Chains A and B, each alone.
Chain A
Amino acid sequence: MDSRPRLGHSAPMPHDHSDHDHPHALLPPEPALRVKALETLLTRKGLIDPAALDEIIDTYENRIGPRNGAEVVARAWSDPDFRAALLKDATAVVAEMGFFGRQGEHVVAVENTDAMHNIVVCTLCSCYPWPLLGIPPGWYKSDAYRARVVREPRKVLAEFGVELSAETAVRVWDSTAEVRYLVIPQRPAGSEGLDVAALADLVTRDSMIGTGLAKAP
């Protein structure tokens, strides 16, 4: 079947309205009540199982978070073969560790070196590797981060207390597709001899986004 887009008048136009005409304006003005109203309506229509909502919330509040990514990074620091495999095909490697699914369907790992520091953003929305890092922090979704980090990454890094050497180039990854990026921070000095669990404790969420460095032991 021809999956190419139809052209011309058959292509649906986007529907632009004044703010007032959007259906969402029919909901109560207060955000908490807006959510409540929608949940109540959809539950009464049989389209929402409130227990399913609880299950989703429990998943992202308690089960999936940045400790997953930290485990991946700690293994990459400890095992050169694992690191090479991760850099070659992160999707397969992290899936084998049990990290896959929504917002982590396609994963690419990028490594920080003395010559290159990587930072991840999504300027158009808030794309983020959920199975590895959980729900993105507020600042990752903020206008300030989205607007500024592509243009002045070093100023943004300074706001996180990170200063890079002039020898280090910055590469900012704008997640414009369904590929999700994981930064492998540099292994901190003095961490020789630590096991994978102790190394994982040094890996911060921000270090895997690129706005931070791994902690010193």
Chain B
Amino acid sequence: MTRVHDMGGRFGDGAVTPEAEDVVFHADWHPRALALTLATGALGKWNIDVSRHTRECLGPADYARFSYYEKWIAGVADMLVARGVVSREELAGTADPTPSPLTEKTLKAPQVAGVLARGGPADRTSNIAAIFAPGDAVVTRKQPENTIVPGGHTRLPAYAAGARGRVLRLHGTHVLPDSNAHDLGEAPEPLYAVAFPASELWAHPEHPRDEVVLDLWQSYLEIP
């Protein structure tokens, strides 16, 4: 089974509403929520996979009713408590904030440009050799689940589980989110772009030659 965020292919959503290019944020608190998320990330207490998984662990009711940046703020609050950076009492406002031992890590304005420019590359050297090449047929594993941690993070969407596709390109070797999201190490392995015919994924594809491409780690793939 999967989690509420894994919504690719789901029925029941309405029309997509285009918007003008000059709209960046829709409320004054949105940019604040974005900046707060990036700034707390710089404290180094979690990685991007932990942060994605935390948002995915929002209860389905919260996930559905929260707007985008509400999910981000909820995720930050949950991680700050889970990692012991703030206490539940501090968050609730029932205890006075105590000074943090992490303040050396606090992101200062002059450091922002450098931190954003560095980003967080995910490519790593790996001793796991690529076993597939562009053009090879592959099949994704049957269950779209983390095989290490029950209910854990994975980037194999349910709609592409157990599907047969072909490798388009090898991206190199990248950090494995299924491991990194649970503090189990980066476990880098080959990452591929894999193309699936729409007819392999959907009962009623719109066009016989349409395709969906996903980036998938080698351990998500099997030889058909």
What is the interface of chain A, defined by CB distance below 8 A to chain B? 3-7, 11-19, 22-24, 26-27, 31-32, 34-39, 41-42, 44-49, 51-57, 59-61, 65-66, 100-106, 108, 121, 123-126, 134-135, 137-139, 141-156, 159-160, 166, 169-179, 204-206, 211
Is B21 a contact of A45 with CB atoms below 8 Å?
no
Decide yes or no: A47 and B24 within 8 Å by CB, A42-B86, A53-B39 being known contacts: no
Chain B residues 166 to 200 lying within 8 A of chain A, measured CB to CB, are 169, 171, 174-175, 177-179, 182-188, 191, 193, 195, 198
Decide yes or no: A48 and B151 within 8 Å by CB, A22-B78, A27-B91, A105-B121 being known contacts: no
Asked whether B69 is an interface residue with its Cβ less than 8 Å from the other chain, the reply is yes
Chain B residues 126 to 174 lying within 8 A of chain A, measured CB to CB, are 148-153, 155-157, 159-160, 169, 171, 174
Q: Looking at the assembled complex, report how far the CB atom of B101 sits from the nearest CB atom of chain A, in whole angstroms.
A: 10
Other A-B contacts than A54-B109, A146-B7, 16 sampled, CB-CB below 8 A, are: A5-B185, A22-B74, A38-B91, A41-B86, A42-B80, A48-B39, A51-B109, A52-B111, A53-B35, A101-B118, A125-B55, A126-B68, A139-B19, A166-B207, A178-B174, A211-B18
Is A23 a contact of B16 with CB atoms below 8 Å?
no
Name the interface size band of chain B: 35 or more
Counting chain A CB atoms within 10 Å of each CB, the highest count among B76, B155, B156 belongs to: B155
What is the interface of chain B, defined by CB distance below 8 A to chain A? 5-19, 21, 23-29, 31-36, 38-40, 43, 48, 52-53, 55, 57-59, 61-62, 67-70, 73-78, 80-82, 85-86, 88, 90-93, 97-100, 102-103, 105-109, 111-113, 115-123, 148-153, 155-157, 159-160, 169, 171, 174-175, 177-179, 182-188, 191, 193, 195, 198, 201-202, 206-207, 209-217
Is A53 a contact of B32 with CB atoms below 8 Å?
yes
29 contacts between A and B (CB under 8 A): A24-B62, A27-B91, A32-B27, A34-B70, A42-B86, A45-B86, A47-B43, A52-B108, A55-B113, A56-B38, A56-B112, A57-B34, A105-B120, A106-B121, A106-B174, A108-B169, A123-B7, A124-B5, A124-B6, A124-B8, A137-B21, A139-B18, A147-B12, A151-B9, A151-B198, A159-B16, A166-B207, A176-B215, A177-B191
Is A46 a contact of B106 with CB atoms below 8 Å?
yes
Is B18 a contact of A147 with CB atoms below 8 Å?
no
Instruction: Please indicate the chain A residues that have their CB under 8 angstroms from the CB of B211 in the complex.
Output: 169-172
Alpha-carbon distance A37/B93, docked complex (angstroms): 9
6 closest A-B pairs by CB: A123-B8, A177-B215, A24-B74, A169-B209, A178-B122, A23-B81
Closest to A26 in B: B92
Alpha-carbon distance A12/B36, docked complex (angstroms): 27
Alpha-carbon distance A42/B155, docked complex (angstroms): 31
Instruction: Please indicate the chain A residues that have their CB under 8 angstroms from the CB of B9 in the complex.
Output: 123, 147, 150-151
Is A170 a contact of B215 with CB atoms below 8 Å?
no
Instruction: Please indicate the chain B residues that have their CB under 8 angstroms from the CB of A61 in the complex.
Output: 24-25, 31
Decide yes or no: A124 and B157 within 8 Å by CB, A26-B92, A61-B24, A174-B212 being known contacts: yes
Is B36 a contact of A32 with CB atoms below 8 Å?
no
Decide yes or no: A148 and B16 within 8 Å by CB, A23-B88, A41-B90, A46-B99 being known contacts: yes
